[in-house]
Structure 1
Amino acid sequence: MALVFRLAMASQTIVHQPDEIWQYLEPAWGRLTGHWIVAWEFHEGIRGWLVPMLLTPSLALGHAIAPDTMLHLWLTRGLLGLLSLGVVASFFAMGERISRQHAIVAGWVGAIWVEIFYFAARPSGDGIALTLTVPALWLAMRLRERPSMRLAGMLGLLLGLAFIVRFQYAPALALIGLLAVSGDPRRTLLPLAGGSLVAIALGALADMAAGAPPLLWLWRNFAINLGENRSASFGTQPPWWFVTQIGATWHIAMLVLLPSLLTGARRFPFVAVIALVVIASHSLIPHKEYRFVILAIALGVFLAAIGSVDLWKALAGRWRVAERINATIALCVLWFLLSAVVGATKPFSAYWGNGRAANTMLAKAGRTPGICGLALFQEPDLPMANYTYLNRSVPVMLLEGRRSAASAQAMAPAFNVIIAPRLSAPELPASYRQVECLQPHKAPEKQKFCLFMRPGTCTVPPGDFDYNTVLRRLGH
């Protein structure tokens, strides 16, 4: 079931946040093909190259097997989903420290809880850090009781990789490391530090392979996002936002989740501390997004799974009907229903369509026979274009602003395919005909992604209308 949900997610044209493309997939695609849309983060040098480097082989394999399809994306997301099964296994193993019933329920919840499997197949730092950190937490628990130099080295590697992938988790990662070495520091501290250094060295080597100064992005990220407050330009929220957002997302499920979570925290107080540290440390940063604390959310769900078993047992002692019901099956059904409720209602339900229309249209444009150049005309959001979904090494142009219609007329020989809103059709050169609009059931003003094309080839270069050139001019 865990694999089914994750592979289903891997097949979806969903982009939860633009970072998935422009900070991870697109630079990886650029390493592979030489063509990519460069986001401002890479111009400013505030992103590391380890994750793009790790994603490149699966993108390359998928592209080699079926170059005219989206296999490169399905394979990459599917691999991430497969790796995230370690979260399910870790939930089971941590639950087994209490009983087999706790293990089964916790593992089931790790497999089917919507917030966990949704982010499992996401090529983003948040989802990948979750995949690394939850197994590290289980390993730390085991190390504390049974110190091992080999396992300490493995734990150090996981913690170091999680730090490179999402350094904002540093306080939580440090606490996990302290838990691990508290059993026998003399035997575990050096191997753990060594494993962490290996991971950090891998991050530095990835930066160097991309031609970037090793690990300088860490300092620049602090300096620009916090020092210059650049991240705040994408929106700010009050310190209590994460708590209210989690409550809004779980809504009616909170009736079960909250008492179960509090009960489970008695079994695993350290897990509760880690979750609180993640939320507290991120609450200090003005710019907040739900995905930033997915680790805390997953750990909270684990605690609730553990607590639900204890609460059922307490209920069975007072309510005879509960004694005649198979507790494990009943709890698994209950958790499945709770996950379905959260996934099917707002605000989470809005996530299922994120980025679908824009990237579906890019993929359709890439499959247009004879495409030699693509223009994006008055696109609703910047950036939108990316070569990962376009899957064609052709020039891409951006026509925006008040002179976009005049620019389209002047530069028409540079492209033969346009993506534009439906209502913009009269402003396009007369030689272009509408091929398709996504979401045709909507009102014309809401049809933002339509495909237009003309016959013939491209005879001039994009010049100043090159997508990357325009992005830099606009500060993106």
Structure 2
Amino acid sequence: MTSNAAILPIVTVPTAKSETFAVRYGSLCGLLLLATALRLPLAFWPNVIHNDEIYQYLEPAWRLLGHQGVVTWEWRDGIRNWFLPTLFAGPIALGDWLAPGGWGAFVGPRLIASFASLSMVVTAWHFGERISRAHATVAALAVTVWFELVYFAPHTLSEPLATAVILPAAYLLTGQLSRSRLVMGGALLALAFVWRFQYAPASAVFALGACWRDRRNALPLIAGGLATLTIAAGIDVLHGSTPFAWLILNIQQNLLHDRASEFGVAPAFAYVTLMLSLWSGATLLMLPALWRGWRHAPLLIVAAVVNIAFHSMIAHKEYRFIFLSIVLLVIAAGLGSADWVQLMRQRAPRARRYWALPIVCGTWVLLSLSLSATRFMHDYWVLGLGEANLAADLSADPEFCGLALYGLPAPFLPGRGQLALGRPVYSFYPSDPLAKGQLPALVKRHQQEFNRIIGPMTLASELPSDFSPRGCALMSSDHVTACVFARRGTCDLAATSPFKINDVLVRLNY
């Protein structure tokens, strides 16, 4: 059954039957190679955007493999589902087998996330191909090189992973529809919902667009979605949870009880302000490109605006939350900027017309390079490097048998080596009710349980005298210089300390 097209005014350009695969997709293959070259090396760069990519996804997957790990309040309260950790368990196991000690377990799933991000390049190409080959090239190149998309690609977060499946769904649910496209589009939107349900309002734009002119399209769309949701429910049951109980609990905690606000709030216009700061002068080019892009793909811009508006109503804000909007806007701007190629070809002398496409593509590359090198972005590129270096050094220390985190701005420490420390971790945190302002005395009393401490250099005088500093690093997330303090000797692993990290997190409700 073929149904009416969704409301997306994109002109389809027929392709000659004699056109070979190499001619038609040669540029796309080249751009995929470029995207791979830009993204895969970043999987090895120990940059951590947020604690969540370790403690909400990689640590739970590590625990699924039978290892000990940190359990945060989200998992204790049951507001997370096991779909992504289950998917990551295989790459983590393979990575740890190939490169033990935490390095492989960290890199394995990041490589998978990097490859998943290539779906955005392919989708941008196909959106553009509906108009012309130039539109396909410019849109795909924009997604390939745009600095924010490259930056987020390797990170094991739900936002870029959900975006990687929403984009193909958006393509399938626009243009000429069929039953198979509707089923597949519904399945992908449901998958994105399970991974990042906060993207549901933006996803609904594409679902409504597909059903706007023909309500019969809703049935295959729903059928595809139900198939994915059935698999998700099965994963919940496999892990001993009630299907989708996590969704209800998450809405209760974060949307109704506003639990996330405990981790910071921002005004409603914060996302717009941050986008303008990151895009800087490039905004002057992006806005007219988006204006022209509206003619080709209005639903992309509508979905982007809906997503930003929805997240702007939530008090707790992080830039990664609107990643989907950034990708949609870049594709729409890429389609709009490709119109300038046609304009230049029409107005330029015949001998110079071939420069039109390189000029527009080169502008995208230069804009991305310049914006990625700003001081503002520099702080993002180095997030978590200090923590990762300290954790990786510990995992390679043959004498290390127990770790204490002392007086740090947060009671846990993300890092590349965190996954496979394999030793007990203790946390002495000022807000711990059991500490009661007696951190120096407590760490001295329990020092036989660990022989390494990570703490701020400024608190070195509070540590037992037999601990001496070794390596130090700037913890970029908190702008605190922390050091590894070491003592000789073994650890009393039989001790039952109340300061093991998971016990501390329970008391702090972290």
> Normalised by the shorter chain, which TM-score bucket?
over 0.9
Taking the TM superposition and a 5 Å limit, the aligned residue runs for 1:229-268 are 229-268=258-297
1:233 Cα deviation from its structure 2 partner: 1.9
Aligned counterpart for 2:446 among listed residues 398, 411, 417: 411
Aligned 8 A contact 1:387 1:393 in 2: no
Q: Partner letter of residue 226 of structure 2?
A: L
Taking the TM superposition and a 5 Å limit, the aligned residue runs for 1:373-388 are 373-384=402-413
1:373 Cα deviation from its structure 2 partner: 1.0
Structure-2 separation of matches of 1:117 and 1:404: 42
User: What SS class does the counterpart of residue 404 from structure 2 fall into?
Assistant: strand
User: What SS class does the counterpart of residue 469 from structure 2 fall into?
Assistant: strand
1:386 Cα deviation from its structure 2 partner: 6.9
- Does residue 429 (structure 1) correspond to residue 453 (structure 2)? The answer is no
2:182 corresponds to which residue? 152
- Does residue 471 (structure 1) correspond to residue 471 (structure 2)? The answer is no
Aligned counterpart for 1:201 among listed residues 230, 234, 244: 230
User: What SS class does the counterpart of residue 248 from structure 2 fall into?
Assistant: helix
Structure-2 separation of matches of 1:447 and 1:19: 20
2:331 corresponds to which residue? 302
User: What SS class does the counterpart of residue 121 from structure 1 fall into?
Assistant: coil
1:69 Cα deviation from its structure 2 partner: 4.8
Residue by residue, what CA displacement relative to the aligned partner does 1:248-305 show, whole Å, maximum 9, x if unpaired? 1101111211111111111111211111111122222122221111111111111111
Structure-1 separation of matches of 2:480 and 2:375: 23
Q: Partner letter of residue 498 of structure 2?
A: D
2:107 corresponds to which residue? 74
Aligned 8 A contact 1:37 1:385 in 2: no
TM value normalised by structure 2 = 0.87
**Cα RMSD between the aligned structures?**
2.3
Aligned 8 A contact 2:388 2:417 in 1: no
1:115 corresponds to which residue? 148
Identity of aligned residues (%): 36
1:17 Cα deviation from its structure 2 partner: 1.6
Query: Which ranges in structure 2 are unaligned for 5 or more consecutive residues?
Result: 1-33, 431-436
Note closer, same or farther for the CA distance 1:462–1:418 as it changes in structure 2 (3 Å cut). farther
1:322 Cα deviation from its structure 2 partner: 10
Taking the TM superposition and a 5 Å limit, the aligned residue runs for 1:100-249 are 100-142=133-175, 145-147=176-178, 149-182=179-212, 185-186=215-216, 188-249=217-278
Q: Name which of structure 1's ranges 381-390 and 356-365 shifts more when overlaid on structure 2.
A: 381-390
Structure-1 separation of matches of 2:408 and 2:480: 11
1:235 Cα deviation from its structure 2 partner: 2.1
Structure-2 separation of matches of 1:31 and 1:322: 63
1:346 Cα deviation from its structure 2 partner: 4.4
Structure-1 separation of matches of 2:124 and 2:288: 19
Which structure would you say has the larger RCO, counting Cα contacts within 8 Å and 6 or more residues apart?
2
2:27 corresponds to which residue? none
User: What SS class does the counterpart of residue 65 from structure 2 fall into?
Assistant: helix
Structure-2 separation of matches of 1:446 and 1:232: 22
Query: Which ranges in structure 1 are unaligned for 5 or more consecutive residues?
Result: none
Aligned counterpart for 1:91 among listed residues 105, 116, 124: 124
Aligned 8 A contact 1:171 1:278 in 2: yes
Structure-2 separation of matches of 1:312 and 1:449: 52
Structure-2 separation of matches of 1:200 and 1:146: 22
User: What SS class does the counterpart of residue 33 from structure 1 fall into?
Assistant: coil
Q: Name which of structure 1's ranges 377-386 and 150-159 shifts more when overlaid on structure 2.
A: 377-386
Aligned 8 A contact 2:59 2:419 in 1: no
Note closer, same or farther for the CA distance 1:412–1:298 as it changes in structure 2 (3 Å cut). same
Aligned 8 A contact 2:47 2:382 in 1: yes
Structure-2 separation of matches of 1:105 and 1:446: 39
Aligned counterpart for 1:461 among listed residues 463, 473, 495: 495
Note closer, same or farther for the CA distance 1:387–1:335 as it changes in structure 2 (3 Å cut). closer
Structure-2 separation of matches of 1:90 and 1:425: 53
Note closer, same or farther for the CA distance 1:219–1:426 as it changes in structure 2 (3 Å cut). same
User: What SS class does the counterpart of residue 463 from structure 1 fall into?
Assistant: coil
1:161 Cα deviation from its structure 2 partner: 0.6
1:146 Cα deviation from its structure 2 partner: 3.9
Aligned counterpart for 1:354 among listed residues 357, 373, 383: 383
1:138 Cα deviation from its structure 2 partner: 0.9
1:397 Cα deviation from its structure 2 partner: 0.1
Structure-1 separation of matches of 2:232 and 2:368: 36
Structure-2 separation of matches of 1:385 and 1:348: 21
1:140 Cα deviation from its structure 2 partner: 1.1
1:439 Cα deviation from its structure 2 partner: 5.0
Count of aligned pairs between the two proteins: 469
Aligned 8 A contact 2:205 2:299 in 1: no
Note closer, same or farther for the CA distance 1:12–1:313 as it changes in structure 2 (3 Å cut). same
Q: Name which of structure 1's ranges 114-123 and 200-209 shifts more when overlaid on structure 2.
A: 200-209
- Does residue 389 (structure 1) correspond to residue 418 (structure 2)? The answer is yes
Structure-2 separation of matches of 1:60 and 1:113: 32
Q: Name which of structure 1's ranges 453-462 and 17-26 shifts more when overlaid on structure 2.
A: 453-462
1:165 Cα deviation from its structure 2 partner: 0.8
Structure-1 separation of matches of 2:509 and 2:426: 16
- Does residue 53 (structure 1) correspond to residue 86 (structure 2)? The answer is yes
1:17 corresponds to which residue? 50
2:364 corresponds to which residue? 335
1:241 Cα deviation from its structure 2 partner: 2.1
1:368 corresponds to which residue? 397
Aligned 8 A contact 2:337 2:360 in 1: yes
User: What SS class does the counterpart of residue 464 from structure 1 fall into?
Assistant: coil
Structure-2 separation of matches of 1:48 and 1:388: 24
Q: Partner letter of residue 35 of structure 1?
A: Q
1:324 Cα deviation from its structure 2 partner: 4.6
Structure-1 separation of matches of 2:383 and 2:483: 18
Aligned 8 A contact 1:395 1:462 in 2: no
Q: Which has the higher helix share?
A: 1
Q: Name which of structure 1's ranges 85-94 and 40-49 shifts more when overlaid on structure 2.
A: 40-49
Structure-2 separation of matches of 1:57 and 1:72: 10
Aligned 8 A contact 2:388 2:416 in 1: no
Aligned 8 A contact 1:40 1:475 in 2: yes
Q: Partner letter of residue 218 of structure 2?
A: L
